[in-house]
């Protein structure tokens, strides 16, 4: 009998998916402590797999591969770290999206059989498996055709299930808009969800400090997976912006650190300081007679003006025309530090570009006024690619990134873009500078997030 590790290694095509690197990094253990499988995102990550479950439900290499990839996608999408309290309803939504995604990647019957055989066509189990005769003409599962709900909700859930298994897929938001309304009164405790999500080990901090390498390896594995056909922008899981309201906290000491970085960036990027001296003509009042139309009219009316208007050059110190662009990390790993970071940026509002670029897996531009109101738009994920693409698209020459550094290393065209930009990085106290070190010109650590 081969071990679980050997079976997992054998179920992936030889030389692909970087699975060998994953197995070297992660311990694979047989355990009856979990009903199906689970990943513990600790400093030393572990994948726990119940051998009895594998024997009963993942007996073929294709089924075992789908089980492993299901758990890997929970890591990649941050379900094990970004949510402090995960309910059964949350798990159901996550699994519905992931199962549809994996089936679209591997639509062959030997792969989708894992979900077909494990879940029945009854409601709500049918939402976690592809429909009959899929792929092909869509036929609603029997459990949805007899759904005891008003017709509009029955049609809504059928449309959602069809979208989950369409080429474009369905977003989290589309799932959340429909399923919780139908499932809130349904007993979900008995639904055999894959993975012991509620019991996965490791706090968000432990994951961020010790298992970031695991995320990098999983990301490389997924990059090699087959792509879903005809992807539509805005449907991808990482492109859904969630809105929050952040109450900013002033941080005078962080302001000093940021201003020093901004001055360095301004001098390095333009050969001058963040402020320039300029001469502007201004209208002043003076007793020396001048060719003043108003004075001429007054004289014609018999009045002797005491003051005359004149234009004189006045020297003023003004902010430089090209201010530093700020890319502010609002990903899930930043957590409760967002409020302090907002306050630090607002303390330096006179020295930065008036548009602040919030970044996670996507860029969301907000004005300084919106920042002061606590507006936050985030996917909760994190990727340096969207930052590099934004820099290239807008030809940014000087940029300040405020982040914990868990963004991934830029490669290829993104590395070339960032190498041509003068970049300063302000890190939070618990940070990982290695990802951005190759493209960083200046860096500093903000006194934010330090334990009292």
**pLDDT tens string 194-203:** 765 544 443 3
Q: Give yes or no: residues 195 and 287 share one domain.
A: no
In the chain, the largest separation of any two C-alpha atoms, in whole Å, equals: 116
Question: Cα–Cα distance between 163 and 171 in angstroms, integer?
Answer: 9
Whose tokens are 């309201």? That residue is: 245
* pLDDT for residue 386: 93
Q: How far is CA 211 from CA 76, 203, 214, 274, in A?
A: 12, 11, 5, 39
How many distinct helices (H) and strands (E) make up the chain?
17, 13
Query: For residue 313, what are the β-bridge partners?
Result: 281
Residue 267 falls inside a structural domain: no
Domain limits at 363? 243-255+322-445
In a domain, 112, yes or no: yes
Q: Let me know whether 230 and 373 are in one domain.
A: no
Domain count, the chain: 3
Pick the range with the lowest mean pLDDT from 224-228, 303-307, 353-357: 224-228
Whether 327 is covered by a domain: the verdict is: yes
Mean pLDDT along residues 243-264: 71
Q: 288 and 327: one domain?
A: no
31 and 66 belong to one structural domain: yes
β-strands 325-329, 398-403 pairing: parallel
Residue 230 has pLDDT above 50, yes or no: no
Tell me which range, 2-16, 85-99, 375-389, is most confidently predicted by mean pLDDT.
Answer: 375-389
Residues 150 and 229 in one domain: yes
**Per-residue pLDDT averaged across 236-250, rounded?**
56
pLDDT at 161 over 70: yes
Which residues pair with residue 327 across a beta bridge? 357, 401
- C-alpha closest to that of 346 among 442, 430, 230, 255: 255
Shared domain for 336 and 295, answered yes or no, is no
Asked if the structure places residue 263 within a domain, the reply is no
Q: Are residues 249 and 281 in the same domain?
A: no
| pLDDT of residue 233 exceeding 60 | no
Alpha-carbon distance values, 37 to 53, 73, 195, 200 (Å): 8, 13, 5, 10
CB atoms within 10 A of CB 180: 14
pLDDT more than 70, % of the chain: 69
Domain assignment present for 221? yes
Q: Highest mean pLDDT range out of 40-54, 122-136, 281-295, 320-334?
A: 122-136
Instruction: Give the pLDDT band of residue 287 (cuts 50, 70, 90).
Output: confident
pLDDT over threshold 80, residue 446? yes
Provide the pLDDT for residue 209.
Answer: 37
Q: Is residue 182 part of a domain?
A: yes
What's the pLDDT at 351? 80
pLDDT score recorded for residue 357: 95
Q: Are residues 305 and 394 in the same domain?
A: no
**pLDDT of 74 strictly over 70:** yes
Give the C-alpha separation, 378 to 395, whole Å: 23
pLDDT of residue 172: 67
Same-domain check for residues 27 and 110:
yes
What gap in Å lies between CA 341 and CA 355, rounded to an integer?
15
Supply the pLDDT for residue 201.
Answer: 40
What's 130's DSSP letter?
P
Residue 20 confidence (pLDDT): 59
Per-residue pLDDT, 110: 93
CA distance 95 to 110: 20
Higher pLDDT, 220 or 33: 33
Nearest to 372 by CA among 356, 351, 359, 386: 356
Indicate whether 224 and 250 sit together in one domain. Answer: no
Task: Tell me the pLDDT of the chain averaged across its residues.
Answer: 75
Dist. CA 73–CA 91, nearest whole Å: 13
The reported pLDDT for the residue numbered 232 is: 35
pLDDT beyond 80 at 127: yes
285 and 355 housed in the same domain: no
Q: Where residue 136 falls among pLDDT bands split at 50, 70, 90?
A: confident
Torsion region of 426: left, alpha or beta (phi above 0 gives left; psi -120 to 50 gives alpha): beta
Please state the rounded mean pLDDT for residues 18-26.
60
- Asked if residue 218 is part of any domain, the answer here is yes
- Phi, psi at residue 32, to the nearest 5°? -90, 0
Q: Can you give the CATH number for the domain in which 398 is found? A: 3.40.50
Whether residue 451 is contained in a domain is answered as no
Phi-psi region of 324 (alpha: psi -120 to 50; beta: other; left: phi over 0): beta
Residue 249 shares a structural domain with residue 104: no
The whole-number pLDDT of residue 134 equals: 87
pLDDT on residue 371: 92
Query: Could you tell me the CA-to-CA distances from 344 to 130, 257, 264, 273 in Å, in that order?
Result: 49, 9, 17, 20
């Amino acid at each position: 009998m081969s071990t679980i590790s050997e079976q997992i290694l054998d179920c992936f095509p030889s030389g692909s998916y970087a699975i060998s690197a994953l197995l070297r990094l992660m311990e694979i253990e047989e355990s009856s402590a979990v009903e199906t499988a689970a990943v513990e995102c600790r400093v030393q990550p572990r994948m726990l797999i119940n051998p009895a479950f594998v024997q009963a439900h993942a007996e073929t290499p294709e089924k075992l591969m789908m089980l492993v990839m299901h758990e890997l996608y929970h890591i990649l999408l941050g379900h094990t770290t970004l949510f402090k309290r995960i309910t059964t309803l949350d798990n159901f939504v996550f699994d519905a999206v992931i199962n549809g995604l994996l089936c679209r990647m591997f639509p062959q019957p030997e792969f989708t059989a894992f979900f077909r055989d494990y879940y029945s066509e009854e409601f709500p189990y049918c939402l976690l498996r592809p429909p009959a005769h899929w792929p092909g003409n869509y036929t609603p599962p029997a459990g949805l055709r007899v759904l005891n709900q008003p017709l509009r909700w029955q049609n809504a859930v059928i449309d959602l299930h069809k979208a989950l298994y369409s080429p474009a897929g369905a977003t989290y938001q589309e799932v959340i808009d429909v399923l919780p309304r139908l499932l809130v009164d349904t007993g979900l405790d008995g639904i055999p969800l894959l993975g012991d999500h509620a019991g996965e080990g490791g706090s968000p901090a432990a994951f961020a400090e010790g298992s970031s390498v695991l995320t990098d390896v999983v990301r490389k594995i997924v990059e090699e997976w087959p792509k879903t056909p005809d992807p539509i922008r805005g449907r991808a899981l990482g492109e859904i912006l969630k809105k929050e309201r952040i109450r900013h906290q002033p941080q005078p000491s962080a302001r000093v650190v940021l201003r020093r970085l901004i001055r360095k960036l301004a001098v390095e990027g333009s050969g001058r300081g963040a402020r320039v001296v300029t001469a502007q003509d201004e209208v002043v009042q003076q007793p020396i007679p001048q060719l003043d139309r108003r004075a001429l009219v007054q004289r014609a009316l018999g009045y002797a003006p005491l003051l005359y208007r004149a234009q004189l050059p006045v020297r003023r110190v003004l902010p430089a025309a090209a201010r530093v662009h700020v890319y502010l990390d609002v990903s899930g790993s930043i957590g409760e530090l967002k409020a302090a970071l907002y306050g630090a940026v607002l303390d330096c509002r006179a020295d930065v570009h008036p548009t602040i670029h919030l970044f996670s897996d996507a860029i969301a531009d907000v004005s300084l006024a919106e920042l002061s109101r606590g507006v936050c738009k985030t996917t909760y994920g994190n990727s340096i690619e969207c930052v590099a693409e934004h820099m290239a698209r807008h030809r940014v020459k000087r940029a300040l990134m405020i982040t914990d550094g868990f963004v991934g290393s830029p490669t290829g065209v993104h590395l070339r873009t960032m190498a041509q930009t003068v970049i300063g990085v302000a890190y939070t106290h618990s940070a990982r500078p290695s990802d951005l070190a190759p493209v960083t010109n200046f860096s500093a650590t903000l006194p934010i997030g330090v334990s009292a």
